[in-house]
Amino acid sequence: MTNKPHINVVWLKRDLRLQDNEALSNALVTGKPTLLLYVFEHILINDNHYSERHFNFIKESLRDLNAQLKPLDSKVLSVTSDIQTAFNLIQEFYKIDAIYSHIETGILITYNRDKEFLRYCRNNFIRWNESKNNGVERGLLNRENWLEDWEDYMKEPLKEFKPNHKQLLSLQDISLLESVLTVTNLNTPENTKFQKGGSSSAWKYASSFFENRHKDYMFNISKPEASRTSCSRLSPYIAWGNVSIRQIFQKAQKIKEQSDNKRHIGAFLSRLRWQAHFIQKFEMEHTMENESVNKGYHKLKKSISLKYQQAWKEGQTGFPLVDASMRCLIETGYVNFRMRAMLVSFFTHILWQPWQNASEHLSQQFLDFEPGIHFPQLQMQAGETGINNLRIYNPTLNGHKHDPNAEFIKKWVPELAHLDVPFIHEPYLMTELEQGLYNFKLGEDYPEPIVDIKENRKRASDILWNMKKDAEVVKESFRILKRHTLQDRNRLLQND
């Protein structure tokens, strides 16, 4: 085709929104015709960190975008392809002047893809403009002034979605491209317990949280059942970019000024800072996807037990709160932060398994899988950073404290629901007589504990506390602190 029309392409990744999308805004400000593109890449479809629930959430998000774009006679071109193949086919119809996307802090496979794609753009004389995403910076050597810069970014005006008349490629134009590309079917199952993707759903959750649900935020944040209502539940929408951190940050600040529950909103704001802090940490040290960030822990060897790992993955460990949390996560894609930490602690400390063996299973289950949170947190909860306090969660004590009436356990481990509450928390304490009275057989109706928790907890504690004194661990701890410590850590966690 000669005299091909010139266009910009906005390559959507984890920024599935129209408002406050810097890459999209930068493309539109040029005034050139613009195509919005999402590619379901084979490398991610086949990657073990991802699962069907993630792709369904993306599809729901794209349908929501298309509904917003329909009045403009446009939509997102959604295809299944390798990224370079998709752009090659688009170039058969158009001359691509520039591609706009955000800088993605993703898994190693996406980082390597981006390096290859940069070469592709240079070879095809295409400008690739990457925008900062949620205030995370690429190329930092230390964290000096990072928090101040991040907060300044959060206070900047939101980027409005204002395309010129007919600036977006029309449905007819996109239909022509679809004739040569593999169009992705965006239909998804309707009756699931997962949160639905899309900016429209995100703002429904945000509105209900800021209007009412935040009032018990700090009281219920650690409770496995109550947190499902009192927490914002915005994490999947932030992870997949249905909303920007800046949109939520500014909304929360406004609500805080008017609210009688300033401490609860303040605590929520501190977690937005915390979220960005960990993604920045991963951006600066991506090797933690596969290895402990503290190289001193590379010498820590653990015996692999497929039996233990499978019991943990299926929620069949014999420890009710652990099993309830895993079963809930598998079915709904969400448990609160404390239960996530407990699941990792139980796997790495009590079962004494490598955190790397938990990574893919958990990432597949978390609807809000965010690489920049996932890998640093795995290592932190496994006690392999050298700079954080060692926390070995006791699931029984956590059950009594945060689920005292066993409501959460009853819901997700229904085979225990008919027992009295003390036995629901510790069914392994039941005598043969008590089991008979309840028509319950430990080992048949519910598993016996797969390990001795006291013995294993002591082993993990002794080994890991001793390792904190290891010369290489100490040396690495100083390096990590120098590279990643903020000048004002207190402000990161401030609640007011």
Determine the straight-line distance between the first and last CA of the chain, rounded to whole angstroms. Answer: 60
SS3 79: strand
What token pair was written down for 242? 């249905």
Give pTM, 2 decimals.
0.95
Least confident segment among 9-23, 176-190, 254-268:
254-268
Judge whether residue 75 has pLDDT over 90.
Answer: yes
Radius of gyration of the chain (CA): 24
Give the pLDDT confidence of 127-148 residue by residue, as tens digits.
999 999 999 999 988 888 899 9
Residue 95: phi and psi, rounded to 5, are: -95, 110
- Token pair listed for 338: 């404390």
> What percent helix, strand, coil does the chain show, rounded to 5?
55, 10, 40
Mean local confidence (pLDDT), 4-19: 97
What is the residue extent of each domain of the chain?
A: 6-133, 199-285, 295-484
Q: How confident is the model at residue 495 (pLDDT cuts 50, 70, 90)?
A: very low
**SS3 letters across 216-246:** HHHHHCCCCCCHHHHCCCCHHHHHCCCCCHH
Q: Is the pLDDT of residue 2 over 80?
A: no
Residue 114's pLDDT is what? 96
Q: Is the pLDDT of residue 489 over 90?
A: no
Please state whether beta strands 127-131 and 77-81 pair in parallel, antiparallel, or not at all (unpaired): unpaired
Q: Averaged over 337-352, what is the pLDDT?
A: 98
| SS3 call for 405 | coil
Note the pLDDT tens digit of each residue in 418-433.
Answer: 999 999 999 999 999 9
When mean pLDDT is compared across 142-146, 233-237, 472-476, 491-495, the lowest value belongs to: 491-495
Instruction: List beta partners, residue 39.
Output: 79
Quote the tokens at residue 64: 């929501």
Pick the closest to residue 274 from 377, 362, 348, 345 (CA basis): 377
Average pLDDT over residues 269-281: 93
- Whether 496 shows a pLDDT value over 60: the answer reads no
CATH fold label, 295-484: DNA Cyclobutane Dipyrimidine Photolyase, subunit A; domain 3 (1.10.579)
* CA–CA gap between residue 84 and residue 452 (Å, rounded): 53
CATH T-level fold of 6-133: Rossmann fold (3.40.50)
Q: What kind and span of H or E run contains 212?
A: none
Task: Write the single-letter amino acid at 211.
Answer: E
Neighbours of 53 (CB within 10 A): 23
pLDDT value at position 491? Answer: 53
Q: What is the mean pLDDT of residues 174-200?
A: 97
What does the pLDDT look like over 282-334, one tens digit per residue? 999 999 999 999 999 999 999 999 999 999 999 999 999 999 999 999 999 99
